[in-house]
A and B are shown apart, each in its own frame.
Chain A
Amino acid sequence: MQPVGLNVYLMIAGILFVCGVVCMATKRNAIGVLMGVELVLNGANLNFVAFARYTKLGLDGQVISLFVIVLAAAEAAIALAIALNFYNNHLTIDVDRADELHG
């Protein structure tokens, strides 16, 4: 049995990333899109921490992943505020209905 290495973590991170992208692409609920973003960010985060453990990156990977976590919290707060505003204006959370500027 091969020792568990970086590849396993990279695969998990890759699957999470792709799930996030698909989620962003398909969900029509604005909150669902936001969840896709969170998955993408987490996939990236796992990459950073895995590289911090297994390569020369060292502590920097963990520092960057902490920044990502904090910025993701900020991003979620703003995105939710936008979603609430959208709901107040349209009485729905379906992003396909945001088409006033569609021309």
Chain B
Amino acid sequence: MSEILKHGPLVVFGATAVGGAIAVVLTQNVVRMAFWLILSLGAMAGLFFSLNADFVGTAQLLIYVGGTLVLLIFGVMLTASGPFVSIKSSAGDLVKSGVAGGLLLTLILITACQVHWESTPAYDEVGVMSAGYNATADGNTTRPLGHAFLGARPDKDLGRPPTDHLSPGYLLPFEIVSVHLLVVLVGAAYLARAKKRKA
């Protein structure tokens, strides 16, 4: 009983994520697909929390579920030519892609399970734990992530001798991504602005 309760969140979130994803594939009505996608991605945020990645889980909720999916539903409504639009996929397509997908899934699962990940040392056991720096273990990743984005890596460098090379941070990618996002939004606004219909 205790074991079951202990892994309860993982089971619940995992089942919801997988079930939602399968429902997205099997549903034909696009708004229902969006609903199942909400469930699946929301459960994914729960999985992130269960992996001690609080910040990533919250970002998933805010950006993905609260932002991107709202955008998707918005798109569904703007492009619907009638109420409850559903464009059916052909049965042949479904069977073919189902077989191909099943093979791919088998391949991925076999590959994932063949490797003995247990032999690689877990993050908690290496490096900086000895230096008394354990901020990430409880999911308190906000500050370490902030440091990483600013280019400092106390989570990697703290326990090492000062002669070593410092670990790289993510300042440049962070800046590039922010500019990229701005450019993308300007471009999207340009693309999507109202134009005269040709038809």
Mark A residues whose CB is within 8 Å of B: 1, 4-12, 14-23, 25-32, 34-36, 38-39, 42, 45-46, 49-50, 52-60, 62-63, 65-67, 69-74, 76-78, 80-85, 87-94
Chain B interface residues (CB < 8 Å from chain A): 3, 7, 10, 14, 17-18, 21-22, 24-25, 30, 33-34, 37, 40-41, 44, 47-48, 51-53, 55-56, 59-60, 63-64, 67-68, 71-72, 74-76, 78-81, 85-89, 93-94, 97-98, 100-102, 104-105, 108-109, 112-113, 117-118, 120-123, 126-127, 136, 141, 144-145, 148-149, 153, 155-156, 170, 173, 177, 180-181, 184-185, 187-192, 195, 197-199
Q: How far is the CA of A39 from the CA of B47 in the complex (A)?
A: 14
- Tell whether A19 pairs with B56 under 8 Å between CB atoms, given A4-B10, A73-B63: no
Q: How far is the CA of A40 from the CA of B86 in the complex (A)?
A: 22
Counting residue pairs across A and B whose Cβ atoms lie within 8 Å, the total is: 247
CB pair B40–A31 under 8 Å, yes or no, is: no
Q: Which 8 A-B pairs have the closest CB atoms?
A: A81-B191, A19-B21, A10-B112, A14-B108, A81-B192, A22-B101, A74-B184, A81-B188
A50 to chain B, nearest CB (A): 6
Across the interface, name the chain A residue whose C-beta is closest to B10.
Answer: A4
Looking at B53, B71, B86, the one whose CB has the most chain A CB atoms below 10 A away is B53
Contact B199 A71 (CB under 8 A): no
With A7-B112, A28-B87: A56-B121 Cβ-Cβ less than 8 Å = yes
